[in-house]
Amino acid sequence: MLLISKTVDVRLKGYILIGLVALLMASCSVSKNFTALTNNAESYYNKGEYAKATAAWQQIIANYGKVGSVFTADNYLKAAKSAAKAGNDELAFQWYDKARLKGQSSPEMWLYLAHHYHKIDNLSKELDALGYYFSFDVKGTEALKARERYFEALVESENYEQAIKEWPYIESDVKNNKDYVEMYFEVCQSLNREPELNKAQEMLLKLDPTNEDALFRKARLLYSSVEKRYKNQMAAYEKNHTRSQYSKLLKALKGISADYRTARDLFKKLYVAHPSKRYAAYLANIYARLDSKSKSDYWRQKSE
């Protein structure tokens, strides 16, 4: 009886050993086949045969996508890259998104996803993707264009604090682009960043001399400044009616009148390009200060 038991035990161990050997051989075979297929897909990619590379990856994912021992998440990045090059947006997005969900990250992945979300008008996800993209040390023309879009998207989402941080990276490339300078003006104005706003104002007026917001700001600031100086000089004279003070007043009024005329020219330019009762009211006040009653009355009527 003992002899029979030992015989069974030996046979059982033999079966287990045979099973393990068979399993090992099968595993080696799977790994070998997988390696051959991936090498084939990568060879197609390196030769620029992206459609063939994509088809090869489709077969690999279908056959080995759930075989965790050989198929790792980074393979989705390789597959998606091939699909993107082949112009197969459906598969490229599907595989890049799967790679993302599995914790993968690469500049190509985030930039592709950003473009995808831009196409479908998903601004929040586009911003997230671009943010991750710029967490890498990306350079070159492609990165610059992405940075310009990032700035634009930040302005669209009214994330002005981050937008103004991005401006120095793109300024040299877009400083002659009216649309971008206009966005920069909006950012600076929203943040009340006076030094930057003054710069943006002049940049914008250089590109678009009748831009309403920039031209009105320039005219209004000059008017407010000269009006304050006028009132201060008149108040000083009212307090001290002396020949000396009167002489100071006359001297000051020469410079003040010159600035009123500059403000007048700005508001006239503004009114011609953008007729408005508000601008007519400014002109009426300016002509009153310049002692031109008939012109002041004319503009006063237009302001009513």
Write the DSSP assignment of 124-189 as a string of letters: HHHHHHHHHHTTS---SHHHHHHHHHHHHHHHHTT-HHHHHHHHHHHHHHHTT-HHHHHHHHHHHH
Least confident of 47-56, 171-180, 207-216, 232-241: 232-241
Spatial distance between the Cα atoms of 267 and 284, rounded to a whole number of angstroms: 10
254 vs 7, residue with greater confidence: 254
Q: Is 172 in the same domain as 87? A: no
Is the residue at 96 inside a domain? yes
**Mean pLDDT computed over 19-24:** 42
Is the residue at 22 inside a domain? no
Confidence of residue 150 (pLDDT cuts 50, 70, 90): very high
Is the residue at 265 inside a domain? no
Q: Is 90 in the same domain as 65? A: yes
Q: What pLDDT was estimated at residue 29?
A: 53
Q: Is 146 in the same domain as 121? A: yes
Q: Is 94 in the same domain as 167? A: no
Final residue of a structural domain among 41, 70, 104 = 104
| C-beta of residue 77 within 8 angstroms of C-beta of residue 101 | no
Final residue of a structural domain among 190, 208, 226 = 208
Confidence of residue 23 (pLDDT cuts 50, 70, 90): very low
Does the pLDDT value for residue 76 go beyond 60?
yes
Q: Is 91 in the same domain as 163? A: no
Average model confidence (pLDDT) across the chain? 91
Final residue of a structural domain among 42, 71, 104 = 104
Q: What pLDDT was estimated at residue 304?
A: 94
131 vs 40, residue with greater confidence: 131
Over pLDDT 70: what percentage of the chain? 89
How far CA 171 is from CA of 37, 151, 161, 209, in Å, comes to: 47, 11, 16, 20
**Mean pLDDT computed over 74-88:** 96
Does the pLDDT value for residue 5 go beyond 60?
no
| C-beta of residue 256 within 8 angstroms of C-beta of residue 264 | no
Q: What pLDDT was estimated at residue 28?
A: 47
Q: CB under 8 Å to 42, separation ≥6 — which residues?
A: 53, 78
Is the residue at 1 inside a domain? no
- Provide the domain limits for residue 48: 30-104
CB atoms within 10 A of CB 97: 16
Confidence of residue 25 (pLDDT cuts 50, 70, 90): very low
Does the pLDDT value for residue 20 go beyond 70?
no
Is the residue at 251 inside a domain? no
Spatial distance between the Cα atoms of 42 and 79, rounded to a whole number of angstroms: 9
What is the dihedral angle through the alpha carbons of 160, 163, 164, 169, rounded to the nearest 10 degrees? 180
Give the tens place of pLDDT for each residue, 240-290: 888 888 898 899 899 999 999 999 999 999 999 999 999 999 999 999 999
Q: Is 94 in the same domain as 116? A: no
Is the residue at 80 inside a domain? yes
Is the residue at 42 inside a domain? yes
Q: Is 203 in the same domain as 109? A: yes
| C-beta of residue 149 within 8 angstroms of C-beta of residue 118 | yes
Q: What pLDDT was estimated at residue 65?
A: 78
Q: Is 145 in the same domain as 59? A: no
Spatial distance between the Cα atoms of 80 and 77, rounded to a whole number of angstroms: 5
Q: Is 158 in the same domain as 197? A: yes
Does the pLDDT value for residue 154 go beyond 80?
yes
Closest CA to 30 of 8, 75, 60: 60
Q: How many domains does the chain have?
A: 2
Q: Is 143 in the same domain as 97? A: no
Q: What is the pTM of this model?
A: 0.83
Is the residue at 74 inside a domain? yes
Does the pLDDT value for residue 157 go beyond 90?
yes
How far CA 161 is from CA of 62, 74, 152, 189, in Å, comes to: 46, 35, 13, 12
How far CA 220 is from CA of 98, 225, 260, in Å, comes to: 55, 8, 11
Over pLDDT 90: what percentage of the chain? 78
Residue 53: give its domain's CATH number.
Answer: 1.25.40.10
**Mean pLDDT computed over 64-88:** 89
Tokens describing residue 174: 């877009």
Does the pLDDT value for residue 128 go beyond 70?
yes
Spatial distance between the Cα atoms of 34 and 18, rounded to a whole number of angstroms: 24
Q: What pLDDT was estimated at residue 38?
A: 87
Q: What pLDDT was estimated at residue 151?
A: 99
**Angle between helices 123-133 and 141-156 in degrees, nearest 10:** 140
219 vs 69, residue with greater confidence: 219
Tokens describing residue 116: 């995808």
Q: Is 119 in the same domain as 76? A: no
**Mean pLDDT computed over 62-80:** 86
Q: Is 170 in the same domain as 118? A: yes
**Length of the chain, in residues:** 304
